Amino acid sequence: MLEDMLNKDEGKSMEEIAEADYNSKLNMKKKEEEYYQQKMQELGLKPVDRLLKYLPEASKYMKKGITFAHQDFEVIAKALANNEPFAVISGLSPTGPLHFGHKVVFDELLWLQKLGADVFIPITNDEAYVVGKSKSLAESRKCAYEEVIPSIIAFGFKSEKTKIFVDSDYKDIYNVAMDFSKNITNSKIKGVFGEENLNNPGVFFYRGAVQLAQILLPQLKEFGGPKPTIIPVGIDQYPYILVSRDIAEKRNLIPPASIYIKFLNSLKGPENKMSASDPSSCIYLTDNPKDAERKIRDAFTGGSPFASIQREKGGIPEVCSVHSLLNYHFYDDKEAQSAYKSCREGKILCSECKKNATSLVTNYLIEHQEKMKKAKKNIKSFLLDTPINSIL
């Protein structure tokens, strides 16, 4: 990487190269901060700071500002205060093994389960197929049962409070989607998503209707009727939440609340998030230690290309993929603050940090993969098979 930089900046002094690199990283940091601020204002979301005072136990991501905003969390706080039932829903498309970016959302689900929530996890293999991310339903089903669900169970969910379903195997979800689709209007969808984004309306309406069914499912009679629900998501999912709140009102259900989580940076830098479709951007939870080590070694950091300059000026942990990974998954509050300070003051260099990350990540992977093996024998106890008759 340094070699590329030197070739590109031939003729410039070491100080000039380091200065340009530092400024470009400062710009990335500024851009990221502005992005989340702007989104919060534009969508009218509230910061989570005030919640920290009222929650019996805030999540580690809330305390660190990684879960940074919410809509209507008050309904969940009220359910918690009154010891009333509530549910959390979050799913994903099975297109490959889970990675550390996915783990963030599942950590929030686990936190909510510990607070008393029933957890619903739709595995949208039908979506993977219709948008062309899987060649066939069979392929996406295989991925769901062999890769995704064992990993989810390995995180530590309790089977009695967890309902996982693979869309194409839980056909009742399609009856629910059919029923809710009556309330989806063209004007609402165009208003929320913008006409220009509806380039494949058939697929779009299909996905929309099934997603609505998944979000509102816990409020059906079969699961105890209307109740507060919450969805932990990335900010890009906001339009779907908005539509589901609109439909919930029309159907006398409680509009779902949501919390918004900042994406875990890609290993290639802060301009993208970890993505399952780009193996070099993420560490899969099924990666072997050698691959994980290589990915961390090649990861983008907030450090300087020159050790002497990094010792003098410090690094920029806010844009550093390694810091991001450690801060999200391995550091407690104190460790995160101390690592941040050491980096900013140039007291630690990237090589040392990467060594530490490699050891923490590989130990985690070995343990997680062992748990996955056991989880594969226990999938049935987590699968939802409740028939939905109330809408028939």
Residues making contact with ligand SF4 (CB under 6 A):
301-303, 315, 317, 320, 322-323, 343, 348-350, 353
CB of 279 to ligand SF4, least distance (A): 21
**340 SS3 class:** helix
Which of 238, 246, 189 lies closest to 216, judged by CA? Answer: 246
Q: Which is nearer to ligand SF4, 255 or 346 (CB)?
A: 346
Residue 135 neighbours by CB distance under 10 Å: 10
Which of 66, 152, 162 lies closest to 117, judged by CA? Answer: 162
Q: Which is nearer to ligand SF4, 111 or 328 (CB)?
A: 328
DSSP string, 51-100: HHHH-SS--HHHHTTSEEEEESTHHHHHHHHTT---EEE--B--SS--BH
**119 SS3 class:** strand
CB of 324 to ligand SF4, least distance (A): 9
Read off φ and ψ for residue 272, nearest 5 degrees. Answer: -135, 165
Residue 1 and residue 137: Cα distance in Å, rounded?
41
CB of 260 to ligand SF4, least distance (A): 24
Q: Which is nearer to ligand SF4, 204 or 364 (CB)?
A: 364
CB of 338 to ligand SF4, least distance (A): 11
- Burial class of residue 291, CB neighbours in 10 A (0-12, 13-18, 19+): middle
Q: Can you list the alpha helix ranges (DSSP code H) found in the chain? A: 2-8, 14-43, 49-54, 60-63, 74-81, 100-114, 125-130, 137-143, 149-154, 172-181, 186-193, 201-216, 238-250, 289-297, 307-313, 321-329, 333-344, 350-375
CB of 33 to ligand SF4, least distance (A): 17
Q: Which is nearer to ligand SF4, 228 or 317 (CB)?
A: 317
Q: Which is nearer to ligand SF4, 268 or 376 (CB)?
A: 268
Q: Do residues 232 and 88 touch, judged by C-beta distance below 8 A?
A: yes
CB of 306 to ligand SF4, least distance (A): 13
The four Cα atoms 190, 194, 197, 200 give a dihedral, to 10 degrees, of: 10
**212 SS3 class:** helix
Place of tokens 């056991």: 374
**121 SS3 class:** strand
CB of 314 to ligand SF4, least distance (A): 8
Distances 168 to 124, 125, 201, 283 between C-alpha atoms, Å: 8, 7, 21, 28
CB of 352 to ligand SF4, least distance (A): 7
CB of 7 to ligand SF4, least distance (A): 22
Residue 255 and residue 66: Cα distance in Å, rounded?
24
Q: Which is nearer to ligand SF4, 125 or 358 (CB)?
A: 358
CB of 274 to ligand SF4, least distance (A): 16
Q: Which is nearer to ligand SF4, 264 or 348 (CB)?
A: 348
Place of tokens 């995160």: 336
Q: Which is nearer to ligand SF4, 24 or 389 (CB)?
A: 24
**164 SS3 class:** strand
Q: Which is nearer to ligand SF4, 302 or 305 (CB)?
A: 302
